[in-house]
Structure 1
Amino acid sequence: MALNWLIISLGVLFCVVSVSQGRQTIPNPPMRAVNLGGWLVTEGWIKPSLFDGIPNKDLLDGRGLQFKSVTTKKYLCAELGGGTIIVANRTSASSWETFTLWRINENTFNFRVFNKQFVGLNVKGNEIEVVAQSNTTTVSDVFHIVRNSNDSNRVRIKTSNGFYLQAKTEDLVTADHEEETSTWGDDDPSVFVMGFSGKLEGEFQVTNGYGPTRAPQVMRDHWETFIVEEDFKFISENGLNAVRIPVGWWIAKDPSPPRPYVGGSLTMLDKAFFWAQKYGLKVIIDLHAAPGSQNGFEHSSSRDGSIEWGKTDDTIHQTVDVIDFLTARYAKSPSLHAVELINEPLSPSVQLETLTKYYKAGYDAVRRHSSTAYVIFSNRLGNIDARELFTLASGLSRSVIDVHYYNLFSSTFENMTPQENIDFIYTNRTGDLGYVTTSNGPLTFVGEWVAEWGVKEATKEEYQRYAKAQLEVYKRASFGWAYWTLKNVNNHWSLEWMINNGYIKL
């Protein structure tokens, strides 16, 4: 009889151990957080005034320019998208007719074409033709944009040889117009009408725009005033228990990060941890901008919209080093709750195999310093299976999958009424979240959401019901949620404004 009881007891013990190993440690209470977006990683739309003092602020890194010759009445174009000559024979402007800026100073630039070559000069006989053939910048790839004082979009382009670009014919663009005339007339082949296509206003743009002399002071002033200690007090008094803080990879190089970035953001992150501990808040460190950019957006500090992260092992190793640095620095802080390894990698530019390789290395880097910090894996943006990271994350302790839910940025939400948006939350988002929230998988985190939509002239009561619906659904995420963002010039994107004006009640 005793033997039977021993066998039964061992069997029960085995079952308990097996079940416990397959479960994640759920935070109690779950995170009710707010993102401190636009603070340590710049996003111009959150605080446009940060860019006001930049000269020629419409000509920042990543700005797309299109040049229409006043004589041919056609657009400059990188033939074949790059790799050969520049022509002036296109009747309309699209990708091959767009030249992306790399800013050197307020008037001087490199032009990058669709296939990522840089525009430069090539001596051919008695002419200096304009080409796009080099994958790296050289002295001959530097251009000076001279704007007409009466019409800033009417320009001449001065080349490195001291001459001006000109469209001699539709198929012949050269760099040999000798002098700048004062007429700026439609008979001058060196005159172009400049148009714009897209822009970026991120950390690279603001620091490179102000330049090495002014940027350090501008950024310090921003960091010290945009988020302050009183904000942490406000957060703790209004039903929230955590902050998600986006940071950029250059923070690990503080106080002397590579140009154009400037030092000082690490000091502010130190203050954030101090304030969080003082007011009883947890901190989620979120690597929002990885080396080379993981999604091409300004919030990942892309220089020109290119996605270079993950294309070489170097970018992965550098990113792991950042995670290692941050975790080692804050592992002993009682406020460190989680480390998010990367924010919003873009599918299919970032391959799942590459991302999984990085996530495993990043997880190991966190665990070298902390056995208790949660490790958050951000799902890729795009048309992906929301469980694609389960194979990796389910076998790792304290692992979390981050999903971002916006009723924006998609044709799905065009022309939706307030009630249709609310119904979408209760039906579709409930299903989406239920799909990734499983009993034996990783925890789930709605790392970004907002009570904003595409509805025009919605009433306060409609906004309240919309916010309430999201709060009711997203509280089912096993790890918690985080509103985007605490402060924003756009009122409904600012949780501070939403709380103070009675739109959201926590």
Structure 2
Amino acid sequence: MIVTHSKNHLFRIICVFGMIMIMSNARTLNPTNQRIRATNLGGWLVTEGWMKPSLFDSIPNKDFLDGVGLQFKSKTIGKFLCAELGGGTIIVANRSSASGWETFHLWRMSATSFHMRVFNKQFLGLDSTGVNLVATTTNSQTSGVFEIIRKPDDTSLVRIKAPNGLYLQAKSEDLVTADSKGDGEWGDDDPSVFEMTIIETFKGEYQITRGYGPLRAPKIMKDHWDTFIVEDDFKFIATSGLNAVRIPVGWWTASDPTPPKPYVGGSLQYLDKAFLWARKYNLKVILDLHAAPGSQNGYEHSATRDGSIEWGQTDENIQETVRVIEFFTARYASNPSLYAVELINEPRASGVPLSVLTKYYDLGYKAVRKHAPNAFVILSNRLGGEPKELFPLASGMKNVVIDVHYYNLFSSVFDDMTVEENIEFVRTNRSAELQAITTSNGPLTFVGEWVSEWQVRGATKEDYQKFSKANLDVFGRATFGWAYWSLKNVNNHWSMDWMIKNGYINL
């Protein structure tokens, strides 16, 4: 009897050990029969205004959000204000055409007051005379606050009130001062009047939380999080032929409930809900750090303040990002839905050196492995980088994936393409690009973002169905899988929810 009991006990131990081994390897992918077919939950926990413009409707003075790029043409001189040399010296009014040096980006302090940043990241201010306009300091707090006053019946005409309480005026091409009373009739002969052009806007997380301010933003964001993605969406995803969600998150969520200003607390509890819903409906989760501290690409979806790329410029910034990755991984490592962690989304080659990125990827990979030994770690290719530049780093890692994004958009190449040419481009060019980075002994490949949208005007439903099928056929060859951008969007073809329900995509 003792022997029998021991055998039974041993059998139970073996069974339990076997179950542990199965669970510990639950995230191991078999590329031949279980590839990711996902949708992104974009625009939810990281704001992208173009996906839901109504979010910004009630912001006071909403034309002047953080980062908006403005150009000012003197009505008397007929030339643009310009930061000479791009910054570091005086402001002039002698440019016949406008580009980077002639563009001023706002840092919003209130609905009507702003710091103004120039090309080389200095801020407008007054020199020691208290009158002459310069851009010499990189410290916004010492630069002074400006106001932009629009003409009531023509909002393209403005006056700019300086920190000394007087108004800017272009006295000559080389002399811009802050010593006008600004009480004229807005005529073309008034040197304090400028014609303003808005050339660039940002509507991301920074803009919406700063725009509404600390009193209104928490409710606005909570209402959005409550309604944009709900449990029924996960149920729909699970019954539509999809097996995963890619969830973009921002670095500030790791500091919930008291993130740095202007971000507001509360997003972490919605990420928790997403993991609960994913587990309930047997969906895998790809956790994607979409917005890193300082912005890794200068786009609104990385929560940039003014289009600058400042991520990775210091070791502390990299270490802070690693801490964010470790926080998320540790929090969700015990949830069987955590399938992969994407260390950063779309770093831009023009602002992020490869050496900096590989250093971060190495540290981020180790942070994930510390808590989730078998989760996949996804390395996003740099925008504008070489397709295989991450392969040497990836060769020393296990369960690692390279993320590429394919859109038949954002390039003049696609401007005049027909329906047939777009489809052929996917079947030929995209297929070749994907095949080039898919190797038998290299990292897995993941088309982390794509969409059935293009530059074609007047396309029929059947055209979209053919285009969608071509994308699915080609991107289905990615050895890790694909993820559509995105589940919800006011633009129908960008919404996988709409595309599936209306028969444009058949899974």
**TM-score, reference length from structure 1:** 0.93
Instruction: Measure how far apart 1:334 and its partner are.
Output: 1.0
The code of the aligned residue for 1:349 comes to: G
- Check whether the contact 1:346–1:380 (CA below 8 A) recurs between aligned residues: yes
Q: 1:27: how far off?
A: 8.1
Which secondary structure state, in structure 1, belongs to the residue aligned with residue 171 of structure 2? Answer: strand
Structure 2 Cα separation of the partners of residues 71 and 180 of structure 1? 14
Deviation at 1:141, TM superposition (A): 2.3
In 1, Cα distance between equivalents of 2:310 and 2:46: 18
1:213 aligned to which of 212, 215, 237 = 215
Q: Describe how 1:204-353 pairs up with structure 2 within 5 A.
A: 204-353=206-355
Which letter maps to 1:437? T
Task: Give the stretch that moved more between structures: 130-139 or 107-116.
Answer: 130-139
Match of 1:186 in 2: 188
- Secondary structure in structure 1 of the residue aligned to 2:321: helix
Matches within 5 A, 1:84-483: 84-124=89-129, 128-177=131-180, 179-181=181-183, 183-382=185-384, 384-483=385-484
The offset of 1:140, in angstroms, is 4.3
SS in 1 for 2:127: strand
Amino acid aligned to 1:37: G
The answer to whether the 8 Å contact 1:394/1:441 transfers is: yes
1:11 counterpart residue number: none
Task: State the AA in 1 paired with 2:352.
Answer: V
Give the aligned residue type for 2:247.
I
Deviation digits for residues 246-266 of structure 1 (CA, Å, limit 9, x no counterpart):
000001110000011001110
Q: Is the 8 A contact 2:184 2:190 kept in 1?
A: no
Matched AA of 1:334: P
**Which residue matches 1:76?**
81
Secondary structure of the 1:338 match is strand
Residue type at the aligned position of 1:305: G
State the alpha-carbon separation in 2 of the partners of residues 28 and 268 from structure 1.
Answer: 31
Q: Do 1:244 and 1:284's aligned partners in 2 also have CA atoms closer than 8 Å?
A: yes
Deviations 1:279-322 (A, max 9, x none): 11111000000011110001101111110111111111011000
- Contact persistence 1:24–1:441 (CA under 8 A): no
Contact 1:24 1:397 in 2 (8 A): no
The answer (yes or no) to whether the contact 1:35–1:485 under 8 Å persists in 2 is yes
The separation in 2 between residues aligned to 1:103 and 1:241, in whole angstroms, is: 42
CA deviations on 1:202-240 (whole Å, 9 max, x unpaired) are: 111111111111111111111111001111011011000
Q: Kindly provide the amino acid, as one letter, of the partner of residue 181 in structure 1.
A: D
What is the CA distance between 1:395 and its match in structure 2?
2.0
Q: Secondary structure of 1:141's partner?
A: coil
Q: Which runs of 5+ in 1 are unaligned?
A: 1-22
Q: How does 1:22-33 map to 2 (within 5 A)?
A: 26=31, 28-33=33-38
**Deviation of 1:193 (Å):** 1.6
Greater CA drift, 138-147 or 465-474: 138-147
Distance in 2 between the 1:95 and 1:476 partners? Answer: 42
Aligned to 2:206, what secondary structure does the other structure show?
A: helix
- Report Cα offsets for 1:163-217 as digits up to 9, x if no partner: 111112221111111x332622222221212111111111111111111111111
Deviations 1:398-449 (A, max 9, x none): 1011011111111221211111111111111111111111111111111001
Secondary structure of 1:424 counterpart: helix
**Cα–Cα, structure 1 residues 119 and 431, in superposed 2: closer, same or farther, change >3 Å?**
same
Identity %, equivalent residues: 66
Is the CA contact 1:444–1:479 (under 8 Å) kept in the aligned structure 2? yes
Q: What is the alpha-carbon distance in structure 2 between the residues aligned to residue 465 and residue 300 of structure 1?
A: 32
Deviation at 1:502, TM superposition (A): 0.5
Deviates more, 1:30-39 or 1:403-412: 403-412
8 Å contact kept, 1:24–1:442: no
**Aligned Cα root-mean-square deviation (Å):** 1.4
Does the 8 Å contact 1:139/1:160 carry over to 2? no
Quote the Cα distance in structure 1 between the aligned partners of 2:55 and 2:143: 33
In structure 1, distance between residues paired with 2:85 and 2:438: 47
- 8 A contact 1:36–1:246 mirrored in 2: yes
Contact 2:68 2:105 in 1 (8 A): yes
Hey, what does 2:57 align to over in structure 1? 52
Give, in whole Å, the separation in 2 of the partners of 1:81 and 1:378.
Answer: 32
Give the TM-score taking structure 2 as reference length. Answer: 0.93
Match of 2:20 in 1: none
Secondary structure of 2:499's aligned partner: helix
| Aligned counterparts of 2:153 and 2:30: Cα–Cα separation in 1 | 65
Q: Partner letter of residue 246 of structure 1?
A: P
List alignment gaps of at least 5 residues for structure 2: 1-27
Q: Which amino acid aligns with 1:83?
A: G
- Please tell me the residue identity of whatever aligns with 1:152: T
Distance 1:267 1:310 in 2: 28
CA contact (8 A) 2:286 2:342 kept: yes
Structure 2 Cα separation of the partners of residues 256 and 54 of structure 1: 22
Distance 2:141 2:328 in 1: 36
Which amino acid in the other structure matches residue 416 of structure 2?
Answer: N
The superposition leaves residues 110-129 of structure 1 with CA deviations (integer Å, 9 ceiling, x where unpaired) of 111111110100133xx710
Q: Give the distance between the partners of 2:141 and 2:370, measured in 1 at CA.
A: 43
